[in-house]
Amino acid sequence: MKMTTEEAFVKTLQRHGIQHAFGIIGSAMMPISDIFPAAGIKFWDCAHEGSGGFMADGYTRATGKMSMMIAQNGPGITNFVTAVKTAYWNHTPLLLVTPQAANKTIGQGGFQEMEQMNLFADCVAYQEEVRDPARVAETLNRVIIQAKRASAPAQINIPRDFWTQVIDIEIPEIVEFERPNGGEEAINKAAELLSTAKFPVILNGAGVVLAQGGIEASKVLAEKLDAPVCVGYQHNDAFPGNHPLFAGPLGYNGSKAGMELINKADVVLCLGTRLNPFSTLPGYGIDYWPTDAKIIQVDINPDRIGLTKKVTVGIVGDAAKVAKSLTAKLSDTAGDTDREERKSLIAQTKSAWAQELTSMNEEQDDPGTTWNQRARADKPDWMSPRMAWRAIQQALPVEAIISSDIGNNCAIGNAYPSFNEGRKYLAPGLFGPCGYGLPAIVGAKIGQPDVPVVGFAGDGAFGIAVNELTAIGRGDWPAVTQIVFRNYQWGAEKRNSTLWFDDNFVGTELDEEVSYAGIAEACGLVGVVARTQEELTAALNKAIEDQMKHGKTTLIEAMINQELGEPFRRDAMKKPVAVAGIDAADMRDQTV
């Protein structure tokens, strides 16, 4: 069939149902963006490509449907790097389209030239360059399929002079196959371990959310065993929060109940998780990982099994299918040992933690430091971060999708949100980029327009994405709600400074004259300042009503004191020791 290369490209996108593209317009992509409207593909032109990538991540994570990222070759494409690597560690299948400088000028140092394949080699699960215009559909089809199979970003690189060429081509068919369900021997051994366990615990990861029916399958298995279910760091939506067996998230600022319960385990089923080290770091002074327990690890990627923890049984497979197979293979007496005592302990441990969490108002200082004490004294009438999170919980709809940025005050909130469904909690994940909260929730709202959405960010991280306020108020962009925790500092780094650098605050202070609510108003959005818990709860209630009923985007500045939570990386920091010493008098003038 005769068609142009751009027609072949877009027809392949249509065959895969890719309806949304995120980025900034550029001449290198205009031959395909020109026909997006006719194809039913919406191009969302953001204010910065990096934010566009986070929007794509949020859209796909909220819907389970692939989207694409595309921009001008060179500087437009380089701005995608952080977002693509974030999506990689978030297990988000995305299509990255990178138009390349023209073949006939590559290597001459031409305008906006960049080696784009090497640039993303460590950020994607698969990448391929179009070698001949007639192979554009074949290559694109393969890249999209690889992204789906790996549940990760994949890249197609195409020289810009390959567009607008007439080719003879057929659009390739999509080849689907069943996801693996684990080896028979491994399933049998794991089922035997679970059947004879005295205190089994399940740890759900992102794979449970990504697998079709994964949460329900893990729930059936947990109920059969009466096993408490923990979730990995930033995967609070991997098990129903209203279920009596839900023990909460592990890792940084997670659930003390989950930590105490998994510490008692003799068998742990790690379902759909790569067991990243950050998810099992000690918390609240508890080094809770059960080193003597038998560990069963289930992951779709065999390379991740046994990578971080000693594993007794490794199972390569889809989390939902493996959970169903294990349930079917359990003995009739599985979970019976001390069942009632275990159920009672789960309830008691959860209740005690809920009461403790409710009573937590202040962040603690380490011995020898006094920053949090001074912060409270300096602003005695301001909300603490935990007071703000409790106020938010009063207004947050149970069905809402939320996004969290990286940073101290967002991290303090890790133990608070729970969800009754999957695909509700968007977080930057283990790559840890700032500026994720606002664009991710915009992408989620594009994908789920009938669901309330709320983004969260500290004021430092939000500053990286603040320019998106100039984009999201236009035309058919959907309304969202964004909360910014305003304490005028880079909190995580400031806590490090108090602990290891004697309050030497280098680069940690923000401009107190800047009003994010004022910027929102200047962009035609609604800006609100909340100074008390009551004001914050009321503002969030109103913002969600305006979002859902009146199509208004609201930014709420939650004014909080400068208390600082637990540092991110006690395991990676230590107090420096001066040996040679540093003196400003040693600085020389440069010779020009």
SS3 category, 236: coil
Distance CA 398, CA 226 (A): 25
SS3 letters across 438-470: HHHHHHHHHHCCCCCEEEEEEHHHHHHHHHHHH
Q: Let me know if 242 is exposed, middle or buried by CB neighbors in 10 A (0-12, 13-18, 19+).
A: exposed
pLDDT for the residue 112: 83
Q: Which strand ranges, in their side-by-side order, compose the sheet holding 267-271?
A: 246-249, 229-231, 200-204, 267-271, 294-299, 313-316
SS3 category, 390: helix
DSSP code per residue over 241-265: TTSTTEEEE-STT--HHHHHHHTT-
Phi-psi group of 388: left, alpha or beta (phi > 0 → left; psi -120 to 50 → alpha; rest → beta): alpha
Helix (H) or strand (E) holding 23: strand 20-23
Q: Which residues pair with 509 in a beta bridge?
A: 489
Q: Where are the alpha helices (DSSP H) in 435-571?
A: 437-447, 459-465, 491-500, 516-522, 533-550
Joined tokens for residue 501: 């650098």
Joined tokens for residue 579: 């040996």
Helix (H) or strand (E) holding 426: strand 425-426
Distance CA 251, CA 415 (A): 10
pLDDT for the residue 55: 98
pLDDT for the residue 333: 97
Joined tokens for residue 432: 């840890």
Structure pTM?
0.95
Amino acid at 265: A
Please say whether the beta carbons of 308 and 281 come within 8 A: no
Q: Name the phi and psi angles at 528, rounded to 5.
A: -130, 140
Could you tell me the CA-to-CA distances from 299 to 59, 258, 315 in Å, in that order?
Answer: 24, 21, 7
Joined tokens for residue 74: 């060179």
From first to last of its 592 residues, the chain has per-residue pLDDT tens of 899 999 999 999 999 999 999 999 999 999 999 999 999 999 999 999 999 999 999 999 999 999 999 999 999 999 999 999 999 999 999 999 999 988 777 777 777 888 999 999 999 999 999 999 999 999 999 999 999 999 999 999 999 999 999 999 999 999 888 888 899 999 999 999 999 999 999 999 999 999 999 999 999 999 999 999 999 999 999 999 999 999 999 988 999 999 999 999 999 999 999 998 888 888 898 999 999 999 999 999 999 999 999 999 999 999 999 999 999 999 999 999 999 999 999 999 999 999 999 999 999 999 999 999 999 999 999 999 999 999 999 999 999 999 999 999 999 999 999 999 999 999 999 899 999 999 999 999 999 999 999 999 999 999 999 999 999 999 999 999 999 999 999 999 999 999 999 999 999 999 999 999 999 999 999 999 999 999 999 999 999 999 999 999 999 999 999 999 988 878 888 889 989 999 999 999 988 7
Distance CA 166, CA 148 (A): 29
pLDDT for the residue 7: 97
Joined tokens for residue 10: 């877009």
pLDDT for the residue 24: 98
SS3 category, 384: coil
SS3 letters across 260-296: HHHCCCCEEEEECCCCCHHHHCCECCECCCCCCCEEE
pLDDT for the residue 568: 81
